[in-house]
Amino acid sequence: MNTFHDLGLNEDLLHAITDLGFTKPSEVQEKAIPVLLNSETDLVALAQTGTGKTAAFGFPMLQKINVDSRTTQGLILSPTRELCLQITNEIKLYGKYCKGLNVVAIYGGASITEQAREVKRGAQIIVATPGRMKDMISRNMVDITKIEYSVLDEADEMLNMGFKEDITDILSHTPKDKNTWLFSATMPKEVAAIAKNFMHKPQEITVGTKNEGSSQVSHEYYLTNSRDRYLALKRLADANPDIFSVVFCRTKRDTQKVAEKLIEDGYNAGALHGDLSQNQRDLVMKAFRNNQIQMLVATDVAARGIDVDDITHVINYQLPDEIETYTHRSGRTGRAGKTGVSMVIISKSEVRKIKSIERIINKQFVKKEIPNGMEICEVQLMSLANKVHNTEVNHDIDNYLGKINELFEDSTKDELIKKFFSVEFSRFHNYYQKAPDLNISESSKSNDDDRSTSNTTRYFINVGKKDGYDWMSLKDFLKEILELGRDDVFKVEVKDSFSFFNTENEMKEKVLAFFTDFKYNGRYVNVEVSENRGGGGGRKRDRRRGGGQRDDRRSNFKGKNDRKSSSGKSKSRRSKSDDFVASRPRRSRR
Ligand code: ADP
Ligand code: MG
């Protein structure tokens, strides 16, 4: 077995490695470091999160650059501010005995002039997020024309986040003969394309099976109706009293909503998403690191920088759009040799997605039952009993023992125990004793969209098949422009020149407000409440037949194929809510 010494690293680095307490190289380090040290080559390395990629490129880069020169020779691009700072800190630690070394982090949300000043002092290595880097190049604040080594870290994530053009642009300012080292957890075709277009005969390294999730993680799914998703989430949390988890939602809106509800219900929860200020995000992350938050509800993008080792559960409140993203999510747990559980709450229509994920991660999911009320009560009771059993006695209580004993003079030990536990337990018991079964069966006929129509609003919209939509693409389109969650738009029925869809009543105001004056590709898109309730009982014939007066509005509507050019994003009305969530004692939880 190789030691760091065997890999060919110099004394300065070995000294730092000893300080860090790294005893042996990880697999990706063992494979990458000799290749990068001994040859001038491009490299594609695939390895999961937490496998030590930073050192795999960091050590060779540190050894190869010339610290006596103040020219920028190494450029590391990474997707988020958090990762950027993390890499910078690591590289500084690795290079602590490399005299004269200057590593500078460049990222958005902080003073650009201050960063430019630091670069000017002479940074041999720059660690940057693509957006800010591009900005600084265009303002002549950095010179990367002498770069010898460039690293694309978390390449799949950067591409997921839409940085492809920025990366292309940045690389066009670097010398052709530099070496590019690409690190990624997964290899979707976009990453393969980057490797093909920007790299010259890259050597390939794969750690573990391609795209395989961490072997320390077990995968479970729970089948329920969409409307019961939140209740299911609470049960999973209640059935795991010591949970320390990240709960993934698909949109910022759902993330905020779920976190707020959890807090309202007495859980130690917090939200992490892009609409929060940097300061708010830092506070939430701090609370999470300190275990004050047990359930961190996050979007995929915001969760990218989470480097917390002892996460016990990842909960997929909703499945991600991209299956690859699932690997990243589940990789948040089962780190540093610990085991973890990745749970997925799904509705029936998503069962086939589980099969696709299984193929990609090359592991089987276990179908689990959502715990029933009494099971949860038992778990909570036993957890409490264990806590009491393991509690260290506070001897200040001795002073009051006489009085307390007097009070319980006539109680037996059993009675006392029962009373004591009832204080905590009754709350759970009252809540759960009549709680319904949330499980549904895969084969049951009940339609996932079978919400009671009395709580929902049916709308008419003046686009249809003629505009290139089918029910799925119209649903996607509505979800996107209205920024709604996956299950918020349902019963979509597309006719030739018009369509119908439903939302919960509570969204009615938002939907109608959005479509007041909503122009799409130069044409007014009209949405009205329909009298047709849609599906369920007595599906009436639609009264509207898309009459003549609507046709003039439709004339220059170009249909869905053009929608990328104008996604209606300008209309976005995200609430930049400032009342981000903090933690709260867990006492009155429900
Ligand atoms: P990745 O980029 O693959 O997600 P990191 O480079 O961030 O992983 O490393 C994860 C953690 O493991 C860091 O805290 C790092 O200091 C530590 N680490 C890296 N290499 C080793 C090693 N050889 N031995 C022990 N710990 C290591
Ligand atoms: Mg990394």
Q: What is the distance in A from the centroid of ligand 2 to the CA of 493?
A: 45
Averaged over 574-586, what is the pLDDT? Answer: 31
Sign of the torsion angle spanned by Cα atoms 250, 251, 255, 258: negative
Q: What are phi and psi of 295, to 5 degrees?
A: -130, 105
Which residue is associated with the tokens 């690795």?
A: 94
Residue 564 in 3-state DSSP? helix
Predicted confidence band of residue 121 (pLDDT cuts 50, 70, 90): very high
pLDDT of residue 444: 61
Q: What is the distance in A from the centroid of ligand 2 to the CA of 38?
A: 23
In angstroms, the CA 250 to CA 256 distance is 11
Ligand 1, atom 22, lies closest to the CA of 22
CA count, 13 A, side-chain hemisphere, 361:
26
For 168-211, the pLDDT digits (tens) are: 999 999 999 999 999 998 787 888 888 888 899 999 998 865 44
In angstroms, the CA 527 to CA 516 distance is 8
The CATH number of 217-372 is which of 3.40.50.300, 3.40.1190.20, 3.40.50.10800, 3.20.20.60? Answer: 3.40.50.300
Predicted confidence (pLDDT) at residue 212 exceeds the cutoff of 60: no
Indicate if ligand 1 lies below 6 Å from the C-beta of 54. yes
Predicted confidence band of residue 11 (pLDDT cuts 50, 70, 90): very high
pLDDT of residue 541: 37
Predicted confidence band of residue 561 (pLDDT cuts 50, 70, 90): very low
pLDDT of residue 117: 96
Predicted confidence (pLDDT) at residue 535 exceeds the cutoff of 60: no
For 521-534, the pLDDT digits (tens) are: 778 888 998 876 65
Closest ligand 1 atom to Cα of 28 = 3
In angstroms, the CA 4 to CA 537 distance is 70
Q: Lowest-confidence range among 138-142, 272-276, 483-487, 505-509?
A: 483-487
Averaged over 132-136, what is the pLDDT? Answer: 95
Q: What is the distance in A from the centroid of ligand 2 to the CA of 575?
A: 32
Q: What is the distance in A from the centroid of ligand 2 to the CA of 108?
A: 19
pLDDT of residue 575: 32
Domain residue limits, the chain: 5-206, 217-372, 374-432, 453-576
Q: What is the distance in A from the centroid of ligand 2 to the CA of 85?
A: 11
Bigger pLDDT: 86 or 582? 86
Instruction: Give yes or no for a contact between 483 and 472, defined as CB atoms under 8 angstroms apart.
Output: no
For 379-392, the pLDDT digits (tens) are: 888 888 888 888 88
Q: What is the distance in A from the centroid of ligand 2 to the CA of 76?
A: 11
Indicate if ligand 1 lies below 6 Å from the C-beta of 22. yes
Amino acid at site 149: Y
Q: What is the distance in A from the centroid of ligand 1 to the CA of 50?
A: 6
Predicted confidence band of residue 337 (pLDDT cuts 50, 70, 90): low
pTM above 0.85, yes or no: no
Q: What is the distance in A from the centroid of ligand 2 to the CA of 52?
A: 7
In angstroms, the CA 79 to CA 513 distance is 35
**346 has which bridge partners?**
223
Predicted confidence band of residue 55 (pLDDT cuts 50, 70, 90): very high
> Which is nearest to 133 in space by CA: 164, 170, 163, 103?
170
Closest ligand 1 atom to Cα of 90 = 16
C-alpha pair distances (Å), 26 with each of 7, 54, 381, 589:
12, 11, 42, 42
Ligand 1, atom 19, lies closest to the CA of 52
Predicted confidence band of residue 588 (pLDDT cuts 50, 70, 90): very low
pLDDT of residue 534: 57
Helices 81-94 & 53-64, crossing angle to 10 degrees?
A: 50
Predicted confidence (pLDDT) at residue 7 exceeds the cutoff of 50: yes
CATH 3.30.70.330 corresponds to the domain 453-576? yes
Q: What is the distance in A from the centroid of ligand 2 to the CA of 197?
A: 23
Closest ligand 1 atom to Cα of 58 = 6
For 362-382, the pLDDT digits (tens) are: 888 999 999 998 888 888 888
C-alpha pair distances (Å), 29 with each of 25, 60, 360, 578:
6, 10, 24, 43
Query: Which ligand sits closest to the CA of 337?
Result: 1
Instruction: Give yes or no for a contact between 201 and 172, defined as CB atoms under 8 angstroms apart.
Output: no
Indicate if ligand 1 lies below 6 Å from the C-beta of 55. yes
24, 54, 84: residue to mutate for ligand 1 pocket, most atoms within 8 A of CB: 54
| Burial tier of 441 (Cβ tally within 10 Å: 0-12, 13-18, 19+) | exposed
Indicate if ligand 1 lies below 6 Å from the C-beta of 305. no
> What average pLDDT is seen over the chain?
84
For 275-292, the pLDDT digits (tens) are: 988 889 889 999 999 999
pLDDT of residue 537: 38
Predicted confidence (pLDDT) at residue 132 exceeds the cutoff of 80: yes
Indicate if ligand 1 lies below 6 Å from the C-beta of 97. no
The CATH number of 5-206 is which of 3.40.1010.20, 3.40.50.720, 3.40.50.300, 1.20.1260.10? Answer: 3.40.50.300
In angstroms, the CA 172 to CA 162 distance is 17
Strands 365-368 and 203-206: unpaired
Predicted confidence (pLDDT) at residue 547 exceeds the cutoff of 50: no
**456 has which bridge partners?**
504
Bigger pLDDT: 486 or 32? 32
Ligand 1, atom 13, lies closest to the CA of 52
Ligand 1, atom 26, lies closest to the CA of 22
pLDDT of residue 28: 94
Indicate if ligand 1 lies below 6 Å from the C-beta of 78. no
Indicate if ligand 1 lies below 6 Å from the C-beta of 26. yes
Instruction: Give yes or no for a contact between 269 and 255, defined as CB atoms under 8 angstroms apart.
Output: no
Ligand 1, atom 17, lies closest to the CA of 52
Indicate if ligand 1 lies below 6 Å from the C-beta of 49. yes
Q: Do domains 5-206 and 453-576 have the same CATH topology?
A: no
Bigger pLDDT: 218 or 434? 218
Which residue is associated with the tokens 């660690």?
A: 127
For 428-482, the pLDDT digits (tens) are: 888 888 888 899 887 765 444 445 566 788 999 999 888 888 888 898 889 888 8
pLDDT of residue 190: 83
In angstroms, the CA 249 to CA 269 distance is 14
Query: Which ligand sits closest to the CA of 127?
Result: 2
pLDDT of residue 451: 55
**Could you count the other beta carbons within 10 Å of the beta carbon of residue 171?**
20
Predicted confidence (pLDDT) at residue 551 exceeds the cutoff of 80: no
Q: Lowest-confidence range among 139-153, 287-301, 576-590?
A: 576-590
Query: Which ligand sits closest to the CA of 28?
Result: 1
Ligand 1, atom 5, lies closest to the CA of 52
Predicted confidence band of residue 109 (pLDDT cuts 50, 70, 90): confident
Query: Which ligand sits closest to the CA of 51?
Result: 1
55-85 burial string, b = 16+ CB within 10 Å, else e?
bbbbbbbbbebebeeeebbbbbbbbbbbbbb
Instruction: Give yes or no for a contact between 59 and 199, defined as CB atoms under 8 angstroms apart.
Output: no
In angstroms, the CA 558 to CA 525 distance is 12
State what percent of residues in the chain have pLDDT above 70. Answer: 86
Q: What is the distance in A from the centroid of ligand 1 to the CA of 186?
A: 18
pLDDT of residue 272: 94
Averaged over 262-275, what is the pLDDT? Answer: 93
Indicate if ligand 1 lies below 6 Å from the C-beta of 51. yes
Indicate if ligand 1 lies below 6 Å from the C-beta of 83. no
pLDDT of residue 305: 65
Q: What is the distance in A from the centroid of ligand 1 to the CA of 209?
A: 19
Which residue is associated with the tokens 């104008």?
A: 566
| Burial tier of 287 (Cβ tally within 10 Å: 0-12, 13-18, 19+) | middle
Q: What is the distance in A from the centroid of ligand 2 to the CA of 287?
A: 22
Closest ligand 1 atom to Cα of 153 = 2
For 64-103, the pLDDT digits (tens) are: 999 999 999 999 999 888 889 999 999 999 999 999 999 9
Residue 562 in 3-state DSSP? helix
